[in-house]
Amino acid sequence: MDEQNKEIQRLQALKEIAELLNEATDLQTMLEKVLHTLLKEMKLQTGWVFFIDKNGEHRMLVDEKLPPALTLEEKKPMCEGSCWCINRFVDGRLHKATNIIECKRIEDAIEYEWGDTEHVTHHATIPLRAGEEQFGLLNVAAPHKTHFIEEELALLEAIAYQIGTTIQRIRLVEKERKYVVVAERNRLARDLHDSVKQLLFSIMLTARGTLDMTQDEELQHMLAYIGELSQEALNEMTLLIWQLRPEGLEKGLAEAIRNYAKLLSIDVCIQIEGVLSLTSELEEVVWRISQEALHNCKKHAKCEQVFIQLKRKDAFLSIQIEDNGIGFVKEKIRDSALGLKNMKERIELMNGTFCIHTELGKGTKLEMVVPTGKGEG
């Protein structure tokens, strides 16, 4: 009877978690909910999930009811240093749910008296993976619990496997979404190029052609004006299309920036130090920022020369964009201006820093530093 009860409980836990996983669309929320349900169903107290990247760097994505000793200083004990379970995961020696006899983090907490461990001394650790792909670890513990029996480990493993598959699914959907956005942009760029741009070109040619057919001066002025306007619209359109689909980005960032500067008739000097090989996300950020900066140089700086330096050092990329133009007063920028704000936002989203140095008559220099390493690959 007891055995039967246990089995029912096990199936109940699996069912509830399977339902949660099935509905999940957001990684963080999914992990929070699953961890909560798992602890409740298995009558455990605390748990946490580490994501571990290819360099062995770990990041705690979610945690529930960690004892005070492990949450001190914004969960510092969980974020720093290495431990047995992470090392084993990185070495490729952790294939299944395992009892961790000595948790280094808890041992340290006791040794250095970081606070109450609430009698949590041991934990089980279970790799999160799907097929060949490894994501990280699920760790769970309870007060006075020094050993997880085979059945508990088997259940944890079954759940962890489902979580792994869901992580993989969510990631694929995210990738797919990004791909759809790029495909849509490309389509729009192509359409604009083929239809609107060609039409504008025809208007411009027609206006110029008709100009020679009349002696009426007023009409000549009007036609010349139409010609100028359509030329302007054509230039704007070319830039727009470029923004949608950067030409030459596949040949490298420097090439794309050079081409764009040429389009704006700006003399640009690009200096690259270190091997760039950036993630496509960071490459896009650098590209968009360079684009806006070059635009500002053209529109505001009234300068002849722009100097761009991209320097990769260790896990950081530093970006400097300097012009010898008229400079500006930062306090006087109108609130509605978005260019510089967007740049700052883009950089900060990548955990980087953004700095403007400018002085009237002395030009402007944008300085940015961004980490190149991405959390999980």
Ligand X SMILES: Nc1ncnc2c1ncn2[C@@H]1O[C@H](COP(=O)(O)OP(=O)(O)O)[C@@H](O)[C@H]1O
Spatial CA neighbour of 62 closest among 84, 42, 39, 85: 39
Task: Count Cβ atoms below 10 Å from residue 63 Cβ, excluding itself.
Answer: 19
Interface with ligand X in residues 196-225 (CB under 6 A):
none
Q: Does 243 bind Mg ion (CB under 5 A)?
A: no
DSSP 177-211: HHHHHHHHHHHHHHHIIIIIIHHHHHHHHHHHHHH
Residue from 340, 347, 368, 370 touching ligand X (CB under 6 A): that is 340
Binding partner of residue 135 among ligand X, Mg ion, none, CB under 5 to 8 Å per kind? none
What is the pattern of x (binds ligand X, CB under 6 A) and - over residues 279-298? Answer: -----------------xx-
Minimum separation from the CB atom of position 260 to Mg ion (A) = 14
Minimum separation from the CB atom of position 285 to ligand X (A) = 16
What is the three-class DSSP state of 214?
coil
Residue from 59, 300, 311, 312 touching ligand X (CB under 6 A): that is 300
Binding partner of residue 246 among Mg ion, ligand X, none, CB under 5 to 8 Å per kind? none
- Retrieve residue 231's tokens: 């030329």
For 331, residues 6+ apart whose C-beta sits below 8 A from its C-beta are none
Q: Which stretch binds Mg ion (CB under 5 A): 30-38, 184-192, 293-301, 319-327?
A: 293-301
CA distance 162 to 326: 60
Minimum separation from the CB atom of position 371 to ligand X (A) = 24
Measured from the CB atom, the residue of 77 and 327 that comes closer to ligand X is 327
Q: Which stretch binds Mg ion (CB under 5 A): 103-111, 291-299, 326-334, 358-366?
A: 291-299
Count of helix runs (H) and strand runs (E) in the chain = 11, 10
Q: Are 83 and 62 in contact (CB under 8 A)?
A: no
CA distance 138 to 37: 14
Report strand pairing: 316-323 vs 363-371: antiparallel
- Helix (H) or strand (E) holding 10, with range, is helix 2-23
Interface with ligand X in residues 85-104 (CB under 6 A):
none
Residue from 121, 290, 364, 372 touching ligand X (CB under 6 A): that is 364
67 HSE (CA, 13 A, CB side): 24
Q: Does 339 bind ligand X (CB under 6 A)?
A: yes
Residue from 115, 248, 339, 373 touching Mg ion (CB under 5 A): that is 339
Binding partner of residue 115 among Mg ion, ligand X, none, CB under 5 to 8 Å per kind? none
Phi then psi for residue 375, to 5 deg, are -35, -95
CA distance 286 to 290: 6
CA distance 211 to 206: 8
Q: Are 347 and 291 in contact (CB under 8 A)?
A: no
Minimum separation from the CB atom of position 338 to ligand X (A) = 6
For 10, residues 6+ apart whose C-beta sits below 8 A from its C-beta are 151, 155
Q: Which residue is nearest to ligand X (CB)?
A: 339
Minimum separation from the CB atom of position 327 to ligand X (A) = 6
Q: Does 369 bind ligand X (CB under 6 A)?
A: no
What is the pattern of x (binds ligand X, CB under 6 A) and - over residues 303-332? Answer: --------------------x-xxxx----
Q: Are 353 and 369 in contact (CB under 8 A)?
A: yes
Residue from 183, 224, 333, 349 touching ligand X (CB under 6 A): that is 333
Q: Which stretch binds Mg ion (CB under 5 A): 19-27, 283-291, 335-343, 351-359?
A: 335-343
Spatial CA neighbour of 97 closest among 128, 132, 69: 128
Residue with tokens 């000097």: 269
Q: Which residue is nearest to Mg ion (CB)?
A: 339
Measured from the CB atom, the residue of 115 and 339 that comes closer to ligand X is 339
Q: Which residues bind Mg ion (CB under 5 A)?
A: 296, 339
Q: Which residues bind ligand X (CB under 6 A)?
A: 296-297, 299-301, 323, 325-328, 333, 337-340, 364
